[in-house]
Amino acid sequence: MTLAAISMLSADFLHLEEDVRFVNRHADIFHLDIMDGVFVPNISYGFPVVESMAEIAEKPMDAHLMIVHPEKYVERFAKAGAAMLSFHLDAAGNPSEVLSLIRSCGMKAGIAINPDIPVERLYPFLDKADFVLVMSVFAGFGGQKFIPESIGRVRTVKDEILRKGCPCQIEVDGGVSAVNAAELREAGADILVSGSAVFRAADPVQVISALRG
Ligand code: DX5
Ligand code: ZN
């Protein structure tokens, strides 16, 4: 089954508890977008918010680091309660080391790429990562338009994973909605991240079931 990961960037921060409980009831994963204003032009939220969510989260927390020097914060995210942690390939000096650091802290390790990075650059890490995060918008902001070429990129990575026979999963993030979910699942996505399409929907539960398929 494809898992629905909800990007809390589009949650209502004045009623965050309500939105966390909604994800507990209806979705599979909390997707937490961490931006530093350096690797990406935007700043999101940090540890106080992550730790507060952790107090009541009943589903795994997946932190997506869009920051420079991701290695500095790996332990801190483990302590804050993250079960999955991803960083951007081009933000790390030695991606293999960061992946093994994440695993040594007891989390699933993921490596992310923006839409302008050839997917082949992920190949050397497919057997060292628990998942890859294929961005379907440029990291930095919620609510952007899905880039359709992402579907082919997911398929290409999936073929390579099958060829290698490794258990690496594919997460897709950015502009994902009921409109493109089926194609992404068919292409090989295991985890679909969605923020604005869920929180802005008249019927968010229906959107989540469309993501899962
Ligand atoms: C973009 C983030 C995404 C994004 C998803 O930098 O990594 O997780 O917030 O939100 P939507 O679904 O609104 O594109
Ligand atoms: Zn994200």
Closest CA to 39 of 90, 85, 113: 90
Which atom from ligand 1 is nearest to the alpha carbon of 40?
A: 6
Q: Are 9 and 42 in contact (CB under 8 A)?
A: no
Q: Tokens for 58?
A: 């009943």
Centre of ligand 2 to C-alpha 87, Å, is 10
Q: How far is the CA of 196 from the centre of ligand 1 (A)?
A: 8
Question: CA 104, CA 61: separation in Å to the nearest integer?
Answer: 17
Q: Best of 173, 192, 194 to mutate for ligand 1, by most ligand atoms within 8 A of CB?
A: 173
Angle CA 12–16–18, to nearest 5: 100
- 68, 86, 88 from 91: Cα distances, Å: 5, 11, 5
Q: Where are the domains of the chain?
A: 3-212
| Minimum CA distance residue for ligand 1 atom 9 | 142
Residues of the chain with pLDDT under 50: none
- Strand pairing class (3-7; 29-35): parallel
201/208 Cα distance (integer angstroms) = 10
Kindly state if the Cβ of 168 falls inside 6 Å of ligand 1. Answer: no
Residue 68's pLDDT is what? 98
Task: Calculate ∠ Cα 114-117-118, nearest 5°.
Answer: 135
User: 132-141 pLDDT, tens per residue?
Assistant: 999 999 999 9
Tokens describing residue 42: 């935007």
Catalytic site residues? Answer: 33, 173
pLDDT on residue 84: 99
CA 84, CA 89: separation in Å to the nearest integer?
16
Contact 70, 87 (CB under 8 A): yes
58 phi, psi to nearest 5 deg = -110, 0
User: Above pLDDT 90, what percent of the chain?
Assistant: 100
3-212 in CATH: which number?
Answer: 3.20.20.70
Spatial separation of the C-alpha atoms in residues 68 and 90, rounded to whole Å? 9
Q: Among 75, 109, 114, 108, which residue's Cα sits nearest to residue 91?
A: 114
Q: Is 29 in the pocket of ligand 1 (CB under 6 A)?
A: no
Q: Evaluate: CB of 112 within 6 angstroms of ligand 1.
A: no
| Predicted local confidence at residue 25, as pLDDT | 98
